[in-house]
Each structure stands twice: as C-alpha cells, then as structure tokens.
C-alpha cells in the first residue's frame, strides 16, 4: 500500500480533497465513496482511455459505470464535443444524482467539468488528472469551459469537483514535452507566492525531469497547496486569484500569434513569465534566477519573433481599445506577485518592440 497525501480546498460546503499518491488508480484508493448516486460516467479520450480506463473502473465497483470517449486535442475543446457528452448522458438516462468523472489532461477536465456544470443544472464531478499541467493547475479550482473560434475558454462555468484524485504513476506515460510544459506552471507558483519552493525547484529540477517519484510528488503537492490557498481566498477571481495568471498575458499572446497548438501553453507561459519579470523591474539577479530555472526545465526563455503591433493586438491593446487599461501580474521580488494596471509602458514597448 502506498501512502497518500490529502490537501483540502476550503470552500465551505463546497470544500473538497485533493488526494495525491502512487497507485491510486490501481486500487489504493476507494473512489466509490465519492460517488453518491447509483451511476457514474467516465469521460476520457482516445489516448488516455486505452492507458488508464481499465485501471480506474474497478475502483468504482458497485456503481453503474459507463464511459464516454471524446477525440484528443485542444481543437476538440468545443461546444460540439460538450454536446456529444450531453447527448450521451441523455441517451443513457443519467439522472440528477449521476457523477461525471474526468480522466485525462486539462482538455478532458475542462469539457467534462463544463458538461457536469450544465447537465440538469449541475451534477457531481470528479477530476482524475493525468498530465502534470492538469495535476498542478487545471483540475483544482473549479474553472470549466470550452473554446470559441474567437478565443480560448470564452464559454464556461465555475463548477467545483467533489474530489481531485492524482495518481502520479500516470505521469510515466506522459510525453517529455508535456511534462516540461507542466513544469512551467510549477515554476509559476514558486515565482508568485513561495520563494522557498522556488529555491527547492532550483535544486531539484533535474530530479523532476528524471521523473523521480518523490520529487514529482513534492512538486505536485506544494503546487496544489498553493493553488488551493489562492482559490480558497478568491474562488471567482475577484482579486487575488488573478496572480495565477503570471506570465499569461504574454503567454496567451504568444499562443495566439503562433496559432494555438504550435507552442504548448506551458511553453508560452514560460517565455511570458521571463518577460513579465523583466517588465516588473525586479533586481536583475532575480530575473536571471527565473530565466535560469525556466531554461533548466528545457523551456523557452524568449518569445518567438512577433511584430510589436501583433503583440499589442493579441494582448487586446491595439488602437481600437487604447482606452482599456490592461492589467499585468508583476513581481516585487521573486516569490511575491501583485496585479496592477500601472506598469512601465516604455519598458513594455521595449520588450515587445525590440523583438519586432
């Protein structure tokens, strides 16, 4: 038997545990205790279902379990795929007491969660994230949704899960590039709210890349603790939760200008964090530490070549919306972030213009 760690996301009556450990899908954790009704629908995709569905199903024994398979990829994070899930729930006569289980990365979690939020005005939901990014970020906090052709995550809802079950063994099959992309969000937590964790990452990056189980478990646990704290303080992003978007204003612009999917989200955020640190004007030694850690994770420290006007348009700052004040998440030192609309406009122009 393997030990597991439990972190609670404190949200009053909507509180829930994040359970982290090895072998949790292989029978080391009784998921059925979180499935209150008689039936349960596991949403997964073409890649993850063949790897892990059989491992998960015996843990929900005693319930009427059906699986729903969706196509793999960000391109399928759409209203159409959500419709497919709703159609299957309806055709199987799923009741109000059904539980939707998301088995997969952030794409599966976001769509399945949104379907759970909408079906019969909201049914129970369990996250079983299988990418590092989903384990440290997207499965925690209750943001669910799908993309629209005009932009990412434009349609969605807040819908907290009942349980987040993280079996770190699932990372064994994750592609190297996806692992590195997930590490960008891990670095982000250190940079915005935990200087001690940042230093730990500096000392343990190679172990993480080598998929050392103890190192990965610690990084996932600390990331979830930090995200849980921020979410508990500000569930619907009225204020502090916005610091989780550190590096994301630049990162989203990179994703948009390159065409979504060219750079992975974590890769774009990695370069975006270095740019945001530069915009913050923190001491150069701290900027260098962030750049070095990003590089050590094998992630880009520079954005791709993008013209200044394209940067501005992608960040919603083109001439048409000049009055709109963009907010940035900046650092006052490594480990301390804040949001502001009062940033150094000249430095911003240098950062994006110099790369025209």
Ligand X SMILES: NC(=O)c1ccc[n+]([C@@H]2O[C@H](COP(=O)([O-])OP(=O)(O)OC[C@H]3O[C@@H](n4cnc5c(N)ncnc54)[C@H](O)[C@@H]3O)[C@@H](O)[C@H]2O)c1
Q: Is 318 in the site for ligand X (CB under 6 A)?
A: no
Segment interacting with ligand X (CB under 6 A) among 31-39, 53-61, 118-126, 130-138: 130-138
Residue 1 CB, nearest distance to ligand X (Å)?
Answer: 22
- Catalytic residue list contains 92: no
Nearer to ligand X, 176 or 292 (CB): 176
Q: Annotated catalytic, 121? A: yes
Q: Which of 121, 150, 319, 320 is catalytic?
A: 121
Stretch that binds ligand X, among 46-54, 192-200, 206-214, 217-225 (CB under 6 A): 46-54
Q: Does 106 bind ligand X (CB under 6 A)?
A: yes
- Per the annotation, the verdict on 148 as an active-site residue is no
**Alpha-carbon torsion (158, 74, 242, 207), positive or negative:** positive
Q: Is 237 a catalytic residue?
A: yes
In whole angstroms, give the CA distance from residue 131 to residue 200.
22
27/60 Cα distance (integer angstroms): 10
CB of 70 to ligand X, least distance (A): 10
Our finding on whether 153 is near ligand X (CB under 6 A) is yes
Instruction: Supply the minimum distance, in Å, between the C-beta of residue 353 and ligand X.
Output: 28
Residue 307 — φ and ψ, nearest 5°? Answer: -70, 150
Taking CB under 6 A as the criterion, the residue among 134, 184, 268, 329 binding ligand X is 134
Instruction: Please list the residues that pair with 44 across neighbouring strands.
Output: 69
Smallest gap from residue 344 Cβ to ligand X (A): 28
Q: Is 265 annotated as catalytic?
A: yes
C-beta of 320: minimal distance to ligand X in Å?
A: 26
- What is the Cα–Cα distance from 190 to 241, expressed in whole angstroms? 15
Alpha carbon separation from 213 to 20, 172, 231, 249, 327 (Å, rounded): 12, 10, 26, 32, 38
The phi and psi torsions of 351 (rounded to 5 degrees) equal -65, -40
**Contacting range for ligand X; rule: CB under 6 A; set: 3-11, 168-176, 196-204, 286-294:** 168-176
User: Strand 64-70 relative to strand 39-45: parallel, antiparallel, unpaired?
Assistant: parallel
Q: Is 57:113 a contact under the CB 8 Å cutoff?
A: no
Q: How far is the CB of 107 from ligand X (least distance, A)?
A: 4
Active site residue 349: no
252 is an active site residue: yes
Burial call 51-85: b when 16+ CB within 10 Å, e when fewer: ebbebbbebbeebebebbbbebebebbbeebbebb
The two beta strands, 336-340 and 328-333, are antiparallel
CB 184 within 8 A of CB 291: no
* Catalytic position from the list 4, 22, 77, 143: 143
- Give the residues lining the site for ligand X (CB under 6 A): 45, 47-48, 51, 72, 74, 77, 104-108, 110, 130-131, 133-134, 137-138, 141, 143, 152-153, 170, 173-174, 178, 265
- Which residues are designated catalytic? 121, 143, 185, 227, 237, 241, 245, 248, 252, 265
């Amino acid at each position: 038997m393997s030990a597991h760690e439990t972190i609670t996301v404190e949200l009053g009556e909507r509180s829930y545990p994040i359970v982290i450990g090895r072998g949790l899908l292989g029978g080391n954790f009784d998921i059925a205790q979180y499935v209150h009704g008689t039936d349960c629908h596991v949403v997964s995709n073409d890649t993850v279902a063949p790897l892990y569905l059989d491992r998960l199903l015996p843990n929900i024994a005693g319930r009427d379990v059906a699986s729903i398979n969706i196509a793999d990829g960000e391109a399928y994070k759409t209203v159409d795929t959500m419709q497919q899930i709703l159609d299957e729930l309806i055709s199987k006569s799923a009741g109000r007491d059904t539980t939707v289980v998301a088995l997969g990365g952030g794409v599966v979690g976001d769509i399945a969660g949104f379907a759970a939020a909408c079906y019969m005005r909201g049914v129970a939901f369990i996250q079983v994230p299988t990418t590092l990014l989903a384990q440290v970020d997207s499965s925690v906090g209750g943001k669910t949704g799908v993309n629209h052709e005009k932009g990412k995550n434009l349609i969605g809802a807040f819908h907290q899960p009942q349980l987040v079950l993280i079996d770190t063994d699932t990372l064994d099959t994750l592609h190297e590039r996806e692992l590195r992309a997930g590490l960008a969000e891990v670095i982000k937590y250190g940079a915005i709210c935990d200087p001690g964790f940042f230093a730990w990452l500096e000392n343990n990056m190679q172990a993480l890349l080598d998929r050392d189980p103890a190192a990965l478990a610690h990084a996932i646990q600390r990331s979830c603790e930090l995200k849980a704290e921020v979410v508990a303080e500000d569930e619907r992003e009225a204020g502090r939760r916005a610091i989780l978007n550190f590096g994301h204003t630049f990162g989203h612009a990179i994703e948009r200008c390159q065409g979504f999917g060219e750079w992975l989200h974590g890769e774009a955020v990695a370069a975006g964090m270095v740019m945001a640190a530069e915009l913050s004007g923190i001491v150069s030694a701290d900027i260098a530490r962030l750049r070095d850690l990003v590089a050590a994770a094998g992630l880009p420290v520079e954005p791709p070549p993008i013209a200044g006007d394209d940067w501005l348009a992608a960040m919603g700052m083109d001439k048409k919306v000049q009055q709109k004040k963009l907010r940035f998440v900046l650092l006052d030192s490594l480990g301390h972030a804040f949001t502001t609309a009062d940033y150094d406009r000249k430095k911003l122009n240098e950062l994006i213009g110099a790369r025209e």
